[in-house]
């Protein structure tokens, strides 16, 4: 977890800026960010419908996956949203109605398996924490400036923030690959995850072309903010947190072929 190094050095800078008071200020900022972040975590509301009620057949298939992973008390919801999307928080998986418009049932199961992989790997706890540390490191840069009054120390703190962003981006991408690995291992049709990603990539490319050429239409704007955030995040700097579809598809194919090769040799 290399992303913790710049956070630790941020506290070191706070100490250099104002001794123990600087460290106490850092702890106060961190505690405040964590508290506000915890309060902003999503909670199922009227826009969420239980998959068990909406599609009992699909729910049974997903229950088989949770049993394979040894997960209990996992809930799956369908969100009344047009844009295809899936995410997880705590022990909940959310699938947008848009997914059901472009994916087949086995592909929706595959996407859900990926989100279950996040739950199994405890990413639903880790990802929000990384977002809160992102906010903390940004805010601490200005707190350190106020404590020290030194432009040099401020620039060092900004450098630590940028370092954290790079480490965070790299780490989150690796967790996406790990969730894919979990999904491929538990799916009855591992290639269904590949097909789902290909379909989502096609949809995303199609929509980006419509946006690029400014064509008239009734499609909702892709950049429109959802009414509820999955967790509190700043928007002042953005680095990709997901690997490309092509990288994920290539890795899934390689993973499946490697498993097939091992199975043939074992027989």
Predicted local confidence at residue 51, as pLDDT: 94
Q: Alpha-carbon distance 30 to 37, whole Å?
A: 10
Q: What is the pLDDT of residues 149-181, one digit of tens each?
A: 889 999 999 999 999 999 999 999 999 999 999
Sign of CA dihedral 135, 169, 227, 36: negative
Predicted local confidence at residue 212, as pLDDT: 44
Q: Per the structure block, which two tokens stand in for 259?
A: 């498993």
For the entire predicted model, the pTM comes to 0.83
Q: Per the structure block, which two tokens stand in for 201?
A: 């990539």
223 pLDDT higher than 70? no
| Buried b / exposed e along 89-102 (16+ C-beta atoms within 10 A) | beebbbbbbbbbee
Predicted local confidence at residue 178, as pLDDT: 95
Contact 52, 59 (CB under 8 A): yes
Q: List Cβ neighbours of 12 (8 Å cut-off, separation of 6 or more).
A: none
Task: Kindly state the DSSP code that residue 12 receives in the 8-state scheme.
Answer: H
Average pLDDT, the chain: 86
Q: What is the pLDDT of residues 24-75, one digit of tens each?
A: 999 999 999 999 888 887 777 777 899 999 999 999 999 999 999 999 999 9
* Distances 185 to 72, 81, 173 between C-alpha atoms, Å: 19, 29, 19
Radius of gyration of the chain (CA): 21
Q: Per the structure block, which two tokens stand in for 230?
A: 């999955």
């Amino acid at each position: 977890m290399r992303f913790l190094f710049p956070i630790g050095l941020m506290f070191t800078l706070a100490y250099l800026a104002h001794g123990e008071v600087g460290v106490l200020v850092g702890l106060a900022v961190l505690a405040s960010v964590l508290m506000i972040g915890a309060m902003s975590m999503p909670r199922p509301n009227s826009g969420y419908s239980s998959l068990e009620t909406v599609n009992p057949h699909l729910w049974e298939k997903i229950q088989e996956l949770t049993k394979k992973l040894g997960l209990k008390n996992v809930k799956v919801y369908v969100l009344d949203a047009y844009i295809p999307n899936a995410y997880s928080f705590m022990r909940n998986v959310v699938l947008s109605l848009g997914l059901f418009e472009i994916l087949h049932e086995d592909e929706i199961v595959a996407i859900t398996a990926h989100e279950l992989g996040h739950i199994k790997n405890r990413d639903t706890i880790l990802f929000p924490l990384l977002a809160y540390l992102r906010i903390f490191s940004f805010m601490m840069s200005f707190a350190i400036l106020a404590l020290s009054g030194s432009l040099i120390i401020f620039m060092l703190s900004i450098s630590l923030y940028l370092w954290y962003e790079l480490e965070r981006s790299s780490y989150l991408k690796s967790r996406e690959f790990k969730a894919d690995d979990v999904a491929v291992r538990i799916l009855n049709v591992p290639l269904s995850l590949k097909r789902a990603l290909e379909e989502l990539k096609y949809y995303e490319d199609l929509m980006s072309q419509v946006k690029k050429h400014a064509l008239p239409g009734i499609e909702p704007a892709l950049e429109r903010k959802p009414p509820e955030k999955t967790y509190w995040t700043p928007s002042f700097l953005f680095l990709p947190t997901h690997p490309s579809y092509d990288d994920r598809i290539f890795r899934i194919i390689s993973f499946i072929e490697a498993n097939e090769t091992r199975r043939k040799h074992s027989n």
